[in-house]
Amino acid sequence: MLEQFFRDMADTAQDAARQPEFAVVRRRGGRRRVRRRVGAAALAFVAFSGLASVAVWGTGSATDSFTTSASPSQPPLIDGARILNLESADGQHIYMSVERCVTCGKDLVATDDGGKTWRSLGDVDATRTDVTVVGPEVLLAYSRTRALADTVKKPDQIVEGGGTPVVSPLVSVDGGRNWKDVTVDGDSVAKVSAGMRAIDCDSLPSKNSCGIYAVDPATGTVRQTPSQPPLDRVDLIETPATAGIWVRGVDPHTDRPATAVSHDGGATWNVGHFDAEPTNAKGVQPDVATTDGMLAFAMFIDDGAVRVYRSTDSGETWTRTNNGTNMPDPLSGPSSFVTFDGTHVVTAIDGENFTYLASADGREYAPLNIPALPALGHSPEAVTKTTFLFNGLDVIYTSPDGRVWTPRPLR
């Protein structure tokens, strides 16, 4: 079992680790404190002298703004409640996995009115605490077991283990009030309905073949889409439902990464290639962000090196805009988002703090302060063209454009 290998490896390293006396760490920490105070004093002097310009959204352009992030690198976990996952298909029906304390299990909670009131989905089987939101009131709940035990279902990625079988997912078409086992109809196909997202085999019992599937919003029945994207190793990209169905994968002819997009519910697909990328031996795939389904950015992050591509034609052609040399700070994660006005915003690490970087065209990225929105290392997400969500760990934030944000504390 892979878990056992990891444990053995970690145990061996743990036993061999050389742990200095705490006094060594303490001395280094003391020196760091002094450096920080000196640095803060210098920054204050520069700001006072008028040599530093501070711009925020709404008062300056994304690319020429400069600021330092005041956000802590890791916020205190206030009163235990912590949002692990936040999903919505329309901005009104929002579903969250919440951990009430460090050692507590997870709860599922939902709102039907954009966060004014909340209800618990606690009746769903307690082991199924990972949720995929497919439509405003259509969701799947499933459990990821410790899973080398799982059979990885994609044909070229079979890993057989032993142990606990995968728990079959449940589906709800009424916002999580009622649940039933997922039924996959293998004898017919269906387009993805308007306002719904596609799912892939990751969300289905392992006996089903891989591909892109549609969920019937009335019955919850799952069917394959009329055609499948002509790529190998396909993964769904999370986008607003109105942006179409976006997948990434590998072109079977070139073995290079590619995207495929459908704007007709999975009946036809347009393929876009990343011909300058190396063949996909390591499985490096781009993280793709789009809000309107036409303008998109793709980032390849390979051992810390970043390459950015931009498309203005719904992923049919990709133009490389940045090879990472213009990123002022290392990224903190692969996820990014595109604001209503087309600015690409990525998360990064500015020294000890998380921060945001933004670019209007994917070429030059500059630090960016977003008022009222903390930088916590992960990205806000576009839910529709005019609804953006951010997981603030104990608060959710909403925005109509990705620029102006409002905190909505949990009730």
Partner 1 sequence: MGGYEEEVRQVYLVSFRRLVGQLYGVTGDLAEAEDVVQEAFVRAVARPRQFSEVADHEAWLRTVALNLARNRFRRRRVFDQLFRAGRLAPTPEAAPEMTLDRLDLVAALRGLPYQVRAALVLYHLVDLSIDEVAMTLGARPNTVKSWLARGRAALAKELSESEAIPHA
- Sites for partner 1 among residues 91-110 (CB under 8 A): 97, 101-102, 106
Backbone angles phi, psi at 201, to 5 degrees: -70, -15
Six token digits for residue 279: 């063949």
Of 157, 206, 268, 279, which one interacts with partner 1 (CB under 8 A)? 157
40 binds partner 1, rule: CB under 8 A: no
77 binds partner 1, rule: CB under 8 A: yes
Q: List the one residue out of 296, 308, 357, 310 whose CA is nearest residue 330.
A: 357
41 binds partner 1, rule: CB under 8 A: no
Closer CB to partner 1, 36 or 177, in the complex: 36
* Burial of 124 from C-beta contacts in 10 A (0-12 / 13-18 / 19+): buried
Question: In the bound complex, what is the minimum distance in angstroms from residue 319's beta carbon to partner 1?
Answer: 23
Question: In the bound complex, what is the minimum distance in angstroms from residue 50's beta carbon to partner 1?
Answer: 30
Closer CB to partner 1, 30 or 252, in the complex: 30
2 binds partner 1, rule: CB under 8 A: yes
Question: In the bound complex, what is the minimum distance in angstroms from residue 411's beta carbon to partner 1?
Answer: 21
Of 112, 185, 202, 232, which one interacts with partner 1 (CB under 8 A)? 202
For residue 342, is it left (φ>0), alpha (ψ between -120 and 50) or beta?
left
Backbone Cα Rg of the chain = 23
Site for partner 1 in 355-384 (CB under 8 A): 377-379, 381
Closer CB to partner 1, 337 or 405, in the complex: 337
The stretch among 71-79, 115-123, 314-322, 360-368 that binds partner 1 (CB under 8 A) is 71-79
25 binds partner 1, rule: CB under 8 A: yes
Question: In the bound complex, what is the minimum distance in angstroms from residue 146's beta carbon to partner 1?
Answer: 7
Closer CB to partner 1, 157 or 317, in the complex: 157
Q: List the one residue out of 261, 260, 311, 257 whose CA is nearest residue 282.
A: 257
128 binds partner 1, rule: CB under 8 A: no
* Gap between the Cα atoms of 209 and 226, Å rounded: 15
Closer CB to partner 1, 32 or 180, in the complex: 32
333 binds partner 1, rule: CB under 8 A: yes
Of 48, 50, 58, 76, which one interacts with partner 1 (CB under 8 A)? 76
60 binds partner 1, rule: CB under 8 A: no
CA distances in angstroms from 229 to 176, 214, 236, 355, listed in the order given: 30, 14, 10, 36
Q: List the one residue out of 248, 214, 220 whose CA is nearest residue 233.
A: 248
CA angle, 375 then 380 then 383, to 5°: 165
Question: In the bound complex, what is the minimum distance in angstroms from residue 390's beta carbon to partner 1?
Answer: 12
Site for partner 1 in 215-254 (CB under 8 A): 233, 235-236, 238
Q: List the one residue out of 325, 254, 335 whose CA is nearest residue 287.
A: 335
For residue 395, is it left (φ>0), alpha (ψ between -120 and 50) or beta?
beta
125 binds partner 1, rule: CB under 8 A: no
* Gap between the Cα atoms of 228 and 266, Å rounded: 7
Q: Are strands 287-290 and 296-302 parallel, antiparallel or unpaired?
A: antiparallel
CA angle, 396 then 397 then 402, to 5°: 150
Q: List the one residue out of 226, 230, 270 whose CA is nearest residue 250.
A: 230
152 binds partner 1, rule: CB under 8 A: yes
Closer CB to partner 1, 90 or 381, in the complex: 381
Residue with tokens 């499948």: 228
Of 55, 114, 118, 130, which one interacts with partner 1 (CB under 8 A)? 130
Q: List the one residue out of 238, 349, 250, 251 whose CA is nearest residue 296.
A: 238
The stretch among 18-26, 47-55, 212-220, 314-322 that binds partner 1 (CB under 8 A) is 18-26
Closer CB to partner 1, 17 or 51, in the complex: 17
Run of H or E including 6: helix 2-16
Closer CB to partner 1, 7 or 116, in the complex: 7
Six token digits for residue 5: 């290998």
334 binds partner 1, rule: CB under 8 A: yes
Backbone angles phi, psi at 181, to 5 degrees: -65, 145
Site for partner 1 in 259-318 (CB under 8 A): 282-285, 287, 301-305
Closer CB to partner 1, 171 or 236, in the complex: 236
Q: List the one residue out of 403, 411, 355 whose CA is nearest residue 56.
A: 403
161 binds partner 1, rule: CB under 8 A: yes
